[in-house]
């Protein structure tokens, strides 16, 4: 019988996870399909319980549900410590949740800069993605600073890290960027259909900065365009993170080795055709 996987979030029409996972299923000859479901925060518990009742094999969880979803699942230890999930596995009957966002981001950054220890990393945002990314970077020995509109939310996030600080999205942001090795946008700012939005402009960056945007649609966000204008040498789009976190979810669900090249090609081809 065909297995059903999916992603829940709100909004969700922009998601290319179905394209990516369906390409992986096809490559490995698996009888499965991956669908996108728009689910509001108020409907989240019903959606997870309904997915279990309907025999759905696994779900990804995206904005703005990653943190609230913890209330409706049994989460493994790392996901509990992070305080957010992005993957649910129903294979055991009980929904077991994981967070693969940090795994994906860490792999991307190690491919880009090598060692993380000692790097000064400025993360924009304090939501589910920022929590996962900061957790893994902190564990690798990076000096993490969280920049968020609500300082209280950023302070709560950093209180669970070993070597982290927080600031607001105000005048001090530019000074922190000048002193940072890596800048990560972990917010939805710049995501389709708001492609002209960015929290950081070219005049705030320096050429030796690594700029990484977790937003993948569009592939070249306004932030990355500004980074190019600033002469930044190492620019990373969100496709790699999408693929690597998705591959980790795929491995949890299917116990198969994910065809990463096919997954990435499917996403990039889809983005080019949009």
Q: What is the pLDDT of residue 255?
A: 97
Residues 143 and 204 in one domain: yes
| Residues 6+ away with beta carbon under 8 Å from 108 | 212, 236, 240, 241, 244
Give the pLDDT score at 230.
Answer: 98
Question: Does 182 score more than 90 pLDDT?
Answer: yes
Residue range 89-102: mean pLDDT, rounded: 95
CATH number, domain at 112?
3.40.50.720
pLDDT of 51 = 97
115 CB-near residues (< 8 Å, 6+ apart): none
Query: What φ, ψ does residue 160 adopt, rounded to 5°?
Result: -100, 5
* Residues 75 and 168 both lie in one domain: no
For the CA atoms of 129, 253, 262, 111, what is the dihedral angle to 10 degrees? 40
List, for residues 197-225, the tens digit of each pLDDT value. 999 999 999 999 999 999 999 999 999 99
With contact defined as beta carbons under 8 Å apart, do 184 and 165 qualify? no
pLDDT band at 191 (very low <50, low <70, confident <90, very high): very high
pLDDT score for 150: 92
Same domain (yes/no): 215, 261: no
Closest CA to 246 of 214, 208, 210, 200: 214
pLDDT of residue 65: 97
Same domain, 157 and 199: yes
pLDDT band at 133 (very low <50, low <70, confident <90, very high): very high
**What is the per-residue pLDDT across 157-173, written as a single tens digit (0 to 9) for each?**
999 999 999 999 887 89
The DSSP H or E segment spanning 33 is strand 32-38
Cα separation, 88 vs 265, in Å, equals 25
Long-range contact pairs involving 112-118 (C-beta distance under 8 Å, separation at least 24): 112/210, 112/212, 112/234, 112/236, 113/181, 113/182, 113/210, 113/234, 116/140, 116/141, 116/142, 117/141, 117/142, 118/142, 118/143
Helix (H) or strand (E) segment spanning residue 81? helix 77-82
Write out the residue range of the structural domain in which residue 41 sits.
3-99+241-273
Three-class DSSP labels, 91-113: CCCCCEEECCHHHHHHHHHHHHH
Q: Are residue 158 and residue 108 in the same domain, yes or no?
A: yes
Looking at the structure, do residues 110 and 228 belong to the same domain, yes or no?
Answer: yes
- What's 258's DSSP letter? P
Residues 9 and 83 in one domain: yes
CATH classification of the domain holding 85: 3.40.50.10860
247 and 219 belong to one structural domain: no
Whole-number average pLDDT of the chain: 96
Residues 160, 148: one domain?
yes
The pLDDT assigned to 274 comes to: 78
228-239: pLDDT as tens digits = 999 999 999 999
Q: Is 121 in the same domain as 30?
A: no
187 and 267 belong to one structural domain? no
84: left (phi > 0), else alpha (psi -120 to 50), else beta?
Answer: beta
| Residue 186 scores a pLDDT above 90 | yes
Q: What is the DSSP letter of 67?
A: T
Check if the beta carbon of residue 105 is closer than 8 Å to that of residue 214. yes
66 carries an active-site annotation = yes
Q: To 10 degrees, the CA torsion angle through 211, 214, 219, 220? A: -30
Dihedral, 23, 91, 75, 267 alpha carbons, nearest 10: 0
Q: What is the pLDDT of residues 28-47, one digit of tens each?
A: 999 999 999 999 999 999 99
Tally of domains within the chain = 2
Return the pLDDT at 170.
Answer: 82
Instruction: Based on the fold, state whether residues 230 and 256 are members of the same structural domain.
Output: no
Complete edge-to-edge strand list for the sheet that includes strand 164-167: 164-167, 143-147, 120-124, 182-185, 210-213, 234-236
Residue 155, pLDDT > 80, answer: yes
| pLDDT band of 136, cuts 50, 70, 90 | very high
Annotated catalytic residue within 26, 27, 41, 66: 66
């Amino acid at each position: 019988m065909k297995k059903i996987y999916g992603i829940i979030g709100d909004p969700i029409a922009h998601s290319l996870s179905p394209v990516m996972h369906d390409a992986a299923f096809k490559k490995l000859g698996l009888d499965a399909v991956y669908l996108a479901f728009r689910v509001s925060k108020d409907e989240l518990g019903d959606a997870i319980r309904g997915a279990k009742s309907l025999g759905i094999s696994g779900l990804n969880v995206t904005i703005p549900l990653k943190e609230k979803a913890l209330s409706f699942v049994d989460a493994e230890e790392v996901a509990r410590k992070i305080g957010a999930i992005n993957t649910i596995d129903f294979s055991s009957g009980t929904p077991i949740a994981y967070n693969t966002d940090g795994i994906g981001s860490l792999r991307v950054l190690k491919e880009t800069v090598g060692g993380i220890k000692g790097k000064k990393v400025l993360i924009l945002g304090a939501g589910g993605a920022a929590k996962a990314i900061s957790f893994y970077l902190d564990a690798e020995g990076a000096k993490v600073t969280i920049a968020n509109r609500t300082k209280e939310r950023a302070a709560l996030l950093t209180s669970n890290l070993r070597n982290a600080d927080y600031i607001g999205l105000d005048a001090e942001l530019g000074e922190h960027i000048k002193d940072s090795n890596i800048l990560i946008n972990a917010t939805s700012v710049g995501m389709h259909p708001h492609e002209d939005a960015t929290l950081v402009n070219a005049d705030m960056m320096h050429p030796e900065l690594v700029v990484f945007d977790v937003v993948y649609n569009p592939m070249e966000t306004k932030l990355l365009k500004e980074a190019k204008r600033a002469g930044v040498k190492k620019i990373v789009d969100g496709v790699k993170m999408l693929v690597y976190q998705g591959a980790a979810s795929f491995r949890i669900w299917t116990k198969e080795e994910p065809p990463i090249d096919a997954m990435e090609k499917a996403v990039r081809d889809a983005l080019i055709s949009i």
